[in-house]
Every structure is written in structure tokens, then in C-alpha cells.
């Protein structure tokens, strides 16, 4: 099966404030009155992509300095307000749900091909693994200012004509940022999940398993076995934590993947049904229509032209 079309950093919304290193590293922000892009500028983008999930093919560090931004990442919803920092790991499925007109954010994004993600870069890799379960951090005012300072140093040097060591500087700034995040995680204790109840822990582990198994395994027994618990106990814990049954989450995850695949109009409905593990195209069509109220073809026809994802 042909590998799913990969997205580059050029698929991100850009403005006069966007700076890149090749197609592997990008920074952008809405800081200052001359930023070239504002929350109001982003509102039409939010509406265009509303309920239109897309796969994120880069790792993003997003810091909110003002306003609010509501996102859904890997089936979990996050609302970012001042002092919130979200780390989105490459490969996740995301949705932009809502943002305010006074949104003030800065963003750093890099692909796995950027050298900061090489196996020898221990700080970055370790941090990404630590925050995968709880990717939204709540920072103090001082931490917000410090991370903004790191970003500003990187931005000034990237803007400087003829600066020769721009890649090395970007990697160095990211290293500093990751060490900083590591210290925050260590001090707050969030990596150990010590503030989560049993049901929330099981629910999060269940959702993580769904990310890589939903297209092959839709039987709750599979997930219960993986978690070394009974199906009845898994159902009770997931229901207690989320108000939804495991089967509902399995169907939601399959639908997210289906919507992402349907945006690629080079793929046939038959091919998509095979990728998702349906026995044939008819079964997929029946499932999709039951969940969405539209057939896969009808849903595909509702997608706006020009969406880059």
C-alpha cells in the first residue's frame, strides 16, 4: 500500500512573521501590532477547518500569550489561555475548533528530518515521550517570559541577512527550550501522572492504543488484554472517565482517520476502506453514513476546494 501523502511545514498557515529553514523548521507568531497576522486574520482559517481533522506531519510547540485557542489533538480537547503551552507530536490527528479575536501565540514547528530530532538529541526525545500523555503545560509568568526570550533570540538571528549558523542556532535554542520544559515537568510532577485517578489513567492508555490499532482491532477484548484488565473493567473505567463507552471511542477514532483519508482525493473509496480494515467498500459506506449521516462520497464532495491538507 502506498504510504499516505506526507505534509511539509509549508502546509501551515503563514504570514509576514513566518520564517523557515528549508521545509524542516518554522517559527511564526502574532506578537506585536506589526505582526502581519492576528487572531481576526486566523478566524476565517478556523472556520474553514472547523470539524475538518488533518494529520500533523511535524512536531509543534505552541505557546499562548493571550486570548484563547481550542484544539482537539488525538481525540482529546485542549483550551489554551495565557500561560498554556501545547506540544503536539508529529503524526497526531488534530482539529482547530475555536479561537478568539485577540489570540496572541508563538509557534515553533519542526519535522523529523530536522537534525534536532536525531537519535543523539536526548533532551528533545526524552521530553517528547514525557509530555505525550499530558502535552498541555501550564506555565508561570516568568516561564512565559523566558520561553518568549528564547524564541525572540532565535527569530532575530533567523531574520539577520547572511547569518551563517542559522540551523545550529535553531537546534541550540530548541535544546535550551527542551531542557527548560524538562525542568518544569520535573518540578510539577506531571510526568508521573500522580494527579490522575485510576479511571483517567486507563482511559488515556486506551486512547493511546487506539492511535495505532483502531484500523485493525475493533474488539474491546483486544484493548482489555493489552491493558491486562477485563473488558468489563475497561468499559467501567472508560465510561467513568469520559462518559463514553470504549466502542464509541473506537468508532470516533475510525471516523477521524476516515475523514483525513477522504481529504486526499487521489485515493479511491475502496482503497480507503481497505486501509481502515473494512471487509469491503459497502461495509465502510454503511458505517460512515451511520456515523456521519452522509456517504463517504457525499462527505468528500462537501470539502472546500483549496484546503491544503
pLDDT of residue 35: 42
Indicate the domain borders of the chain.
11-192, 198-302
Q: Compute φ and ψ for 106, nearest 5 degrees.
A: -130, 150
Q: What are the grid coordinates assigned to 202, written together?
A: 486507563
Question: Which tens digit of pLDDT belongs to each residue from 105-119?
Answer: 998 988 877 765 455
- 198-302 — its CATH code? 1.10.10.60
The tens digit of pLDDT for each residue in 155-201 reads 999 998 888 888 888 888 888 888 888 778 777 765 444 446 889 88
Angle, CA 128 vertex, CA 169 and CA 90 arms, to 5°: 85
Q: Average of pLDDT values for 122-129?
A: 60
Provide the grid cell at 126. Answer: 526524552
At the top level of CATH, the class of 11-192 is: mainly beta
The cell numbers describing 103, all together, are 489570540
Is-contact 6 111, C-beta < 8 A?
Answer: no
- Rg of the chain over Cα atoms, rounded to whole angstroms, equals 20
pLDDT digits (tens, 9 = 90+) for 38-73: 444 444 444 445 567 888 888 889 999 999 999 989
Kindly report the average pLDDT of the chain as a whole number: 81
* Residue 54 bridge partners (DSSP): 94
**pLDDT score recorded for residue 258:** 95
- State the burial class of residue 147 (Cβ atoms within 10 Å of its Cβ: 0-12, 13-18, 19+): buried
Q: What is the pTM of this model?
A: 0.77
Amino acid at each position: 500500500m502506498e504510504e499516505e501523502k506526507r505534509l511539509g511545514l509549508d502546509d501551515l498557515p503563514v504570514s509576514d512573521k513566518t520564517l523557515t529553514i528549508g521545509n524542516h523548521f518554522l517559527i511564526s507568531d502574532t506578537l506585536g501590532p506589526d505582526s502581519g497576522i492576528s487572531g481576526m486574520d486566523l478566524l476565517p482559517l478556523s472556520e474553514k477547518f472547523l470539524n475538518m481533522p488533518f494529520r500533523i506531519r511535524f512536531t509543534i510547540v505552541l505557546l499562548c500569550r493571550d486570548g484563547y485557542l481550542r484544539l482537539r489533538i488525538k481525540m482529546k480537547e485542549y483550551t489554551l489561555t495565557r500561560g498554556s503551552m501545547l506540544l503536539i507530536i508529529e503524526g497526531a490527528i488534530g482539529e482547530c475548533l475555536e479561537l478568539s479575536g485577540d489570540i496572541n501565540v508563538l509557534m515553533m514547528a519542526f519535522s523529523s528530518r530536522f537534525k534536532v530530532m536525531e537519535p543523539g538529541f536526548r533532551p528533545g526525545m526524552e521530553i517528547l515521550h514525557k509530555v505525550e500523555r499530558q502535552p498541555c503545560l501550564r506555565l508561570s509568568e516568568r516561564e512565559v517570559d523566558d520561553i518568549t526570550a528564547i524564541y525572540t533570540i532565535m527569530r532575530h538571528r533567523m531574520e539577520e541577512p547572511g547569518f551563517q549558523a542559522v540551523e545550529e542556532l535553531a537546534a541550540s535554542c530548541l535544546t535550551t527550550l527542551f531542557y527548560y520544559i524538562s525542568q518544569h515537568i520535573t518540578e510539577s510532577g506531571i510526568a508521573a501522572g500522580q494527579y490522575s485517578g485510576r479511571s483517567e489513567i486507563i482511559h488515556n492508555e486506551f486512547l493511546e492504543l487506539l492511535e495505532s490499532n483502531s484500523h485493525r482491532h475493533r474488539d474491546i477484548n483486544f484493548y482489555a488484554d493489552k491493558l491486562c484488565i477485563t473488558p468489563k473493567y475497561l468499559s467501567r473505567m472508560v465510561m467513568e472517565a469520559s462518559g463514553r463507552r470504549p466502542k464509541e471511542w473506537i468508532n470516533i477514532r475510525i471516523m477521524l482517520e476516515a475523514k483525513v483519508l477522504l481529504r486526499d482525493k487521489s485515493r479511491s473509496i475502496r482503497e480507503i476502506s481497505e486501509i481502515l480494515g473494512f471487509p469491503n467498500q459497502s461495509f465502510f459506506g454503511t458505517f460512515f453514513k451511520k456515523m456521519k449521516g452522509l456517504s463517504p462520497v457525499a462527505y468528500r464532495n462537501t470539502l472546500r476546494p483549496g484546503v491544503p491538507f
